[in-house]
Amino acid sequence: MVTGLEVALLLFVLALFVGATRIIRTVKPFIVNAAVGLLVLFLAEALFGLEVALTAVALLIVALGGVPGAVLVILLSVFGVAFVP
């Protein structure tokens, strides 16, 4: 026989699962943008010798902007405006 506690636990686990999938769907584009942007930053350093200081603000710009954000961070570093190591 199924008790009320078992039903409540099942509903709780189901709610956690639905919440986790929604959070992952929301965060996934930012993770992809951040990974691609960081790849661009590392390729710029490896191929062209450009050094960029990786700070929390730079990572936020890259995560939100992706490749254009990475290019912006690189340009700001090259011109000495921000993110200079």
| Tens of pLDDT, residues 25-80 | 998 988 888 889 889 988 988 888 888 888 889 888 888 888 999 999 999 988 88
Q: What is the pLDDT of residue 9?
A: 94
pLDDT of residue 11 exceeding 90, the answer is yes
Q: In sequence order, what are the residues at sequence separation of 6 or more whose Cβ sits closer than 8 angstroms to the Cβ of residue 51?
A: 45, 77, 85
Asked if 40 contacts 66 with a C-beta cutoff of 8 angstroms, the reply is no
Domain boundaries, the chain: 4-78
- Report the C-alpha gap between 76 and 41 in whole angstroms: 12
| Mean pLDDT value across residues 5-31 | 92
Are the beta carbons of 8 and 41 closer than 8 angstroms?
A: no
Query: In this predicted model, what pLDDT tens digit does every residue of 45-57 receive, in sequence order?
Result: 888 888 888 888 9
